[in-house]
């Protein structure tokens, strides 16, 4: 019998507000769902609820756009104060054109709008509030793991997932922007294939695959399923998600 | 109770040889595993076994490298005949440097080595045989779906998956290079978020997420698990995998 695993969305999580104890809210929802976590289970948590609990909201009324933000806003047809927030979250702009700003985030992630989001944010209906990525998503994952492990008396993996666009291919997929207790990358180089030949180039990114798998159970828009429970995937040797970022000097697409 | 789904590797598939009836081999392995497919189940199948069954093997001894292939082979430190095969499978070289050739495949996929692979290929131990992508992976998926649907008297989804590297991030993840009976992309634009605000940019690529999810149950090297069964994910409105390819004129990273 081959390997099998299960992905279950965690619902019943109330709307998260700044300052909320996210670990408590998630633990309560999991316990209410009669999932009993065991060693090696992985929880994938949407970036948005982590950011909200950490109070990573910015009121655009508090923002004064710089001349650079005004210039980029004009080029891209975006809101100048939103662009200013994006620039403050970024090391550099990688590409820009109408409706699109792709940056290297200060944490090393290459993504649109520095992950600064206007949807599913309370108050955003009047376009006045935006949500940043967590300050340090790997640290956020570590903190959630400590709370989960203590509550359930086992060792779980934590993945903080965002949905991002990609070069070359349409449509967003999930990636891991934070991880604890789970391998971000797995190096198969030197493993033997079915014919005993060493694999040529085989570094895999299981934690991005886990994030993508979880988004299939979490939905995108109004489903209100901010987390998923994954059982049956080996966690591997834990490494933080930031190790997935390719350095600029090694990246042919920057 | 939130949505839940299950991914199960299909083992017990014998080594696939050119001309083999892959649908029969997979059906037999599934039936032996006591999985009973039902409407909406999705089967993810590794590109390599599809290519092998379709006889997409090329003996390098039959290849005469062109001057362009010889030049590119010298630049990238690759085997000139291997490079010639890569170029024949490609529309253009997108990037190249030592050990790396990234192309736009004739089918529109941007990927390393045009997907031409030397590992897990019988005979490849002496470096003489390489394996191309299927001639038309969406058509391959259609044909497998016809056979599976007829055998199990239900309508299943088929995804043909490959593992590919990415811009900006280390490590490979699964993508769909062929699909039948399942939505390649899903457009959430106009959906309302939790606060009733229209989603700004929300085209998702569920079929790549499904491919990534399946690779977690299929392994990379010598596990010999060439397919996975997925139950519990909505198939959506069927569209072929080729629709995921971003056109060059719309792509900021070519």
Angle at the Cα of B53 (from B48 to B59), degrees rounded to 5? Answer: 75
Structure tokens at A24: 């408590």
How large is the average pLDDT for residues B207-235?
89
Quick one: angle between helices B22-32 and B137-152, nearest 10?
A: 50
Q: Per-residue pLDDT tens for A157-202?
A: 999 999 999 999 999 999 999 999 999 999 877 666 666 666 555 7
Q: Which of A131, A159, A185 is the last residue of a domain?
A: A131
Percent of chain B with pLDDT over 70: 89
Q: Examine the pLDDT at A123 and tell me if it is beyond 70.
A: no
Residues B153, B42: one domain? yes
Q: Examine the pLDDT at B198 and tell me if it is beyond 80.
A: no
Contact criterion met (CB < 8 Å) for A173 and B212: yes
Q: How far apart are CA B62 and CA B211, in angstroms?
A: 34
Angle at the Cα of B190 (from B187 to B194), degrees rounded to 5? Answer: 105
Nearest to A213 among B125, B197, B212 (CB): B212
Structure tokens at A71: 């210039």
Contact B76, B191 (CB under 8 A): no
Contact criterion met (CB < 8 Å) for A97 and B252: yes
Q: Tell me, yes or no, if the pTM score tops 0.90.
A: yes
pLDDT score recorded for residue A167: 96
Q: Tell me how many domains chain A contains.
A: 2
Position B1 in a domain: no
Q: Which of B80, B107, B131 is the last residue of a domain?
A: B131
Confidence of residue A221 (pLDDT cuts 50, 70, 90): low
Angle at the Cα of A126 (from A121 to A129), degrees rounded to 5? Answer: 45
Rounded to the nearest angstrom, the minimum Cα separation between B209 and chain A is 5
Residues B158, B228: one domain? yes
Confidence of residue B128 (pLDDT cuts 50, 70, 90): confident
How large is the average pLDDT for residues A147-153?
98
Q: Which of A131, A153, A172 is the last residue of a domain?
A: A131
Residues B51, B164: one domain? yes
Task: Give the count of alpha carbons within 13 A of B237, CB side only.
Answer: 4
pLDDT score recorded for residue A137: 98
- Mean pLDDT of all residues in chain A? 91
CATH (domain of A91): 3.90.1660.10
Q: Examine the pLDDT at A9 and tell me if it is beyond 60.
A: yes
How large is the average pLDDT for residues A95-120?
92
Nearest to A125 among B174, B195, B224 (CB): B195
Find the range with the poorest average confidence among A120-124, B134-138, B211-215: A120-124
- Mean pLDDT of all residues in chain B? 91
pLDDT score recorded for residue B8: 96
Nearest to A220 among B3, B119, B188 (CB): B188
Q: How far apart are CA B133 and CA B122, in angstroms?
A: 16
Q: Examine the pLDDT at A223 and tell me if it is beyond 70.
A: no
Structure tokens at B235: 């198939």
Q: Examine the pLDDT at B97 and tell me if it is beyond 80.
A: yes
Structure tokens at B64: 């005469």
Residues A140, A30: one domain? yes
Q: Per-residue pLDDT tens for B132-150?
A: 999 999 999 999 999 999 9
CATH (domain of A203): 3.30.1330.100
* Domain boundaries, position B87: 57-131
Contact A109, A92 (CB under 8 A): no
**What DSSP state is assigned to residue A69?**
H
Contact A67, A183 (CB under 8 A): no
pLDDT score recorded for residue A122: 62
**Residue A227: in which H helix or E strand, if any?**
strand A227-231
Rounded to the nearest angstrom, the minimum Cα separation between A67 and chain B is 25
Give the chain A residue nearest B15 (alpha carbons): A194
Confidence of residue B118 (pLDDT cuts 50, 70, 90): confident
**What DSSP state is assigned to residue A246?**
P
Torsion of the alpha carbons at B219, B118, B169 and A121, rounded to the nearest 10: -50
> What is the residue whose two structure tokens read 């079929």?
B207
Distance of CA B134 to the CA centre of its chain: 9
């Amino acid at each position: 019998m081959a390997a099998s695993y299960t992905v279950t969305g965690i619902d019943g999580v109330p709307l998260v507000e700044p300052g909320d104890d996210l670990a408590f809210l998630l633990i309560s929802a999991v316990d209410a769902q009669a999932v009993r976590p065991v060693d090696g289970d992985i929880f994938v948590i949407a970036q948005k609820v982590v950011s909200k609990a950490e109070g990573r909201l910015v009121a655009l009324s508090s923002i004064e756009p710089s001349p650079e933000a005004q210039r980029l806003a004009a080029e891209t047809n975006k809101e100048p104060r939103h662009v200013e927030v994006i620039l403050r979250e970024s090391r550099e702009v990688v590409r820009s054109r109408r409706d699109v700003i792709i940056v290297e985030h200060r944490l090393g992630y290459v993504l649109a709008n520095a992950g600064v989001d206007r949807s599913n944010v309370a108050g955003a209906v009047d376009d006045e509030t935006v949500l940043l990525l967590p300050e340090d998503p790997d640290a956020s994952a570590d903190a959630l793991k400590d709370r989960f492990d203590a509550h359930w008396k086992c060792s779980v993996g934590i993945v903080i997932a965002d949905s991002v666009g990609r070069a070359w291919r349409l449509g967003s997929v999930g990636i891991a922007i934070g991880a604890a207790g789970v391998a971000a990358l797995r190096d198969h180089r030197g493993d033997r294939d079915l014919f005993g030949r060493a694999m040529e180039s085989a570094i895999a990114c299981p934690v991005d695959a886990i994030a993508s798998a979880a988004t299939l159970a979490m939905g995108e828009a109004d489903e209100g399923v901010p987390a998923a429970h994954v059982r049956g995937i080996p966690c591997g040797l834990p490494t933080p998600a930031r190790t997935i970022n390719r350095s600029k000097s090694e990246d042919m697409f920057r």
